Structure 1
Amino acid sequence: MADGGGRRERAFIGSFTAAGGPGIVTAAVAADGGALTVLSGAGQLRDPSYLALSPDGGTLYAVSETSEGAVAAYRVKDGTLEPAGPPVRVGGSGPTHLSLFDGHVLTANYGSGSVTAVPVGPDGLLDHAPSDVLRHTGSGPHERRQRGPHAHQVQPDPSGRWAVSVDLGTDSVRVCTLTDGRLLLHREIALRPGSGPRHLAFHPGGEHAYVVNELTPSVTVCRWDPAAGALEPLTETPVLPDAPAGDAYPSGVVVAPDGRFLWTATRGEDVLSVFAVEGHRERLRLLGTVSCGGHWPRALTLFDGRLYVANERSGDVTWFAVDPETGLPHRTGAVGVPAASCVVFG
């Protein structure tokens, strides 16, 4: 989408190279309809499963979701990617998510159950080593999936004061501060045992949050106090109208910019669920489900009024127009990307 300076919107798609993915794919975004067209790939990094852009759009950061665990930076030039230094080991295994917070890149390390802070210089480049690694402790009742901590996501809260991490293995959300490069635990909030929280999305109002649970297909509605850095679980709502016929593993959750609707993606069932946000933002009402357009929707992104789904096992990214009155998505296109894992825009 061109602006006055001639800049065009680009999408960056992560993938699992171990499953045949091309690495990080750059795609053009059509101004009319939001269709993606693959332009190029950057395959130097192993399993760049999750990506994040700097606020100015000039640097792209990617995890390397491997047993060694690393994060890498790329310069975005004319829509193409150039490596900006070697990958930095994060001191944890299997990083699945990253975000920018207070001059650092934070990674959630699923395999080791930890969160890492890597300093970012004024030029956007990563420091050569982490400034801190905060290791989670605990477990849950699920015999196979919750023997220890599994940090799955970390992000700043809307106020920018707190770093919030979601741990599938301990059924909890941790709230941290970052001081002089050190991650300090402020408080840990317990969710229902066995729920397996995976990702969290804040309401644009800044005082509520919605946690999608992987081990039980549901969303936990929480009240968020940005002054105290406190999260209070309120209710839990299933993401499916009936009990799943087989395996059902929710993955992503996003909230509309106006706060009226919420969407989740569920693997196995391969559907998107649509919710109305009601009751002073503290109640969700399931409006319906639609096919995700592929198999195993790993991530869900909302951009320019459209939903984009990275379908890992079918190897494609699908996009949906969203009815602004009902919140229901309607599939409008797809592009092939083997082992797709996430989509970011900038």
Structure 2
Amino acid sequence: MADTGTGRAFVGSFTSDGGRGVTAAAVDTATGALTVQGAASSVPNPSFLAPAGGGLLYAVSETQDGAAAAFDITGAVPRLIGPAVRVGGDAPTHLALVGGHVITANYGSGSVSVLPVRASDGGLGAAAEVLEHRGSGPSRDRQEGPHAHQVKQDPTGQWVLSVDLGTDSVRICALAPDTGTLRVHGETVLPPGRGPRHLAFHPAGTHAYVLNELEPTLTVCRWDGETGTLEAVGESALLPQDERAQSYGSGLVLAHDGRFIWAANRGHDSISVIALDGSPEKPELVTTVGCGGRWPRDIALDPGGRRLYVANERSGDVTWFDIDSGTGVPRRAGSIEAPAASCVVFA
């Protein structure tokens, strides 16, 4: 029987570059098509979003005086729950909901902040902790100090990982839910000068893949959720050797069955298709396909695992692709206008 249902997607954007804020869209699950329902421009630069249960959505405000905000998404247009809350760091680029708290990665100040979620309405309280990263990397322009770029909970739920572009490392922390404090458990040093940006786990929970921004590569890591140990064991190219100049990795997702990785490349304006059929430690570049626009800042896999959605920041669109289940190769299926788009999530 054909799938004729509907879902919802939300698009983050840079209002400073003409974005609409947080845009809500209906998803036709049969075709993948998006239909814009409305947008909330009440928070500047909501560049990354995190959906939660109970009709809630959280957003960073990527500004110098960084903030985070909560939205009620039960209606057609997202509704802000209370004012945005300062995170105590500059330019937050990512956030995750962990243990009743929203945790943000603050790129500008190189820190991670923990904000409690109110049980009454899902709104955010003042930051319970701001954990400062330390260190630098060999790139004088981009790695003069720490630049936390992503926070992510591991599959066991025990650990919070923060990926730092400036220090070429990933920190593993434990969150105390009752106090909202983070304890640094360990730090994994990655190859120098790569500029790690985002991390994704293999569905089996035994491996993680770190997408690098300053070099078009993917760092392969083993992950032990019992001990909270991340170990770099290899590296894979995102692009052919002669196409690597002026390309910057941005987002990655894994297939639900663990057979493929898809990574977005800004500058090259493409999606890399990487196969994991042989081994989770031996990614193989299959091909690259055009991203459908310019400067793909983020990519997302739909809940059914059949389509990829790409937020093309500089061409101002969200483009979706049907995925060939046998080869993993995406085929462009449609797009909508989305000025200064920065991310796509589903709820």
Structure-1-length-normalised TM-score: 0.96
Structure 2, unmatched stretches of 5+, are none
SS at match of 1:252: strand
Task: Report the counterpart of residue 36 of structure 2 in structure 1.
Answer: 38
1:160 aligned residue:
157
Q: CA deviation at 1:121?
A: 2.0
Given that 2:4 and 2:30 are in contact with CA atoms closer than 8 Å, whether structure 1 keeps it comes out as no
Cα shift at 1:181: 1.0
Q: Which residue is equivalent to 1:191?
A: 190
**2: distance between equivalents of 1:126 and 1:135?**
24
| One-letter identity of the residue aligned with 1:325 | G
**Equivalent residue letter for 2:316:** G
- Please say if residues 117 and 125 of structure 2, whose CA atoms lie closer than 8 Å, have aligned partners that are also in contact: no
Matches within 5 A, 1:14-33: 14-33=12-31
- What is residue 150 of structure 1 aligned with on the other side? 147
Q: Which position in structure 2 is the counterpart of 1:247?
A: 246
Quote how far apart the aligned CAs of 1:39 are: 1.2
1:51 equivalent to 2:49? Answer yes
Q: Deviations over 1:98-126 (max 9, x none)?
A: 01001100000000000000001223523
Matched residues in 2 for 1:199 and 1:50: separation?
13
Deviations 1:228-270 (A, max 9, x none): 0000001111100123364100100110000000010000000
Equivalent residue for 1:220?
219
Counterparts of 2:244 and 2:237, CA distance in 1: 14
- Mapped to 1, the partners of 2:173 and 2:247 lie a distance apart of 31
The worse-fitting range, judged by mean Cα deviation, of 115-124 and 63-72 is 115-124
Contact 2:261–2:273 (8 Å) recurs in 1:
yes
Partners of 1:31 and 1:326 lie apart in 2 by 21
Q: For 1:81 and 1:269, locate their aligned partners in 2 and report how far apart those are by CA, in whole Å.
A: 33
What is residue 330 of structure 1 aligned with on the other side? 331
Q: Which moved more, 1:115-124 or 1:20-29?
A: 115-124
Which residue, out of 121, 125, 132, partners 1:128? 125
CA 1:2–1:98 in structure 2 vs 1: closer, same or farther (change >3 Å)? Answer: farther
Whether contact under 8 Å (1:270, 1:294) holds in the other structure is yes
Q: CA RMSD in A?
A: 1.2
The match for 2:10 is 12
Q: Output the CA distance in 2 between the equivalents of 1:127 and 1:296.
A: 32
Contact 2:70–2:124 under 8 Å retained in 1: no
Distance 1:276 1:99 in 2: 27
Of 53, 64, 71, 2:61 maps to 64
* Rounded Cα–Cα distance in structure 1 between residues aligned with 2:39 and 2:250: 25
> Equivalent residue of 1:9, what SS?
strand
Q: Deviations over 1:2-59 (max 9, x none)?
A: 77xxxx4111100000001111111110132111111101011100000011134x11
Distance 1:245 1:214, change over 3 A: closer
Q: What's the CA shift for 1:81?
A: 1.1
1:101 aligns with 2:102: no
Question: How many angstroms apart in 1 are the aligned matches of 2:213 and 2:253?
Answer: 15
Unaligned segments of structure 1, at least 5 residues: none
TM-score (norm 2): 0.96
Aligned residue in 2 for 1:287: 286
Q: Tell me if the contact between 1:2 and 1:9 (Cα under 8 Å) persists in the aligned partners.
A: no
- Separation (CA, whole Å) in 2 of partners of 1:334 and 1:322: 15
Cα drift, residue 300 of structure 1: 0.6
**Aligned-pair distance for 1:77?**
1.8
Cα distance in 2 for residues equivalent to 1:223 and 1:107: 24
Aligned to 1:342: 343
Q: Give the Cα separation in 2 of the matches to 1:250 and 1:328.
A: 18
* 1:78 alignment partner, one of 58, 75, 80: 75
Aligned equivalent of 1:307: 308
AA paired with 1:22? R
Which residue type is aligned with residue 213 of structure 2?
A: E
Alpha-carbon distance in structure 1 between the residues aligned to 2:227 and 2:120: 33
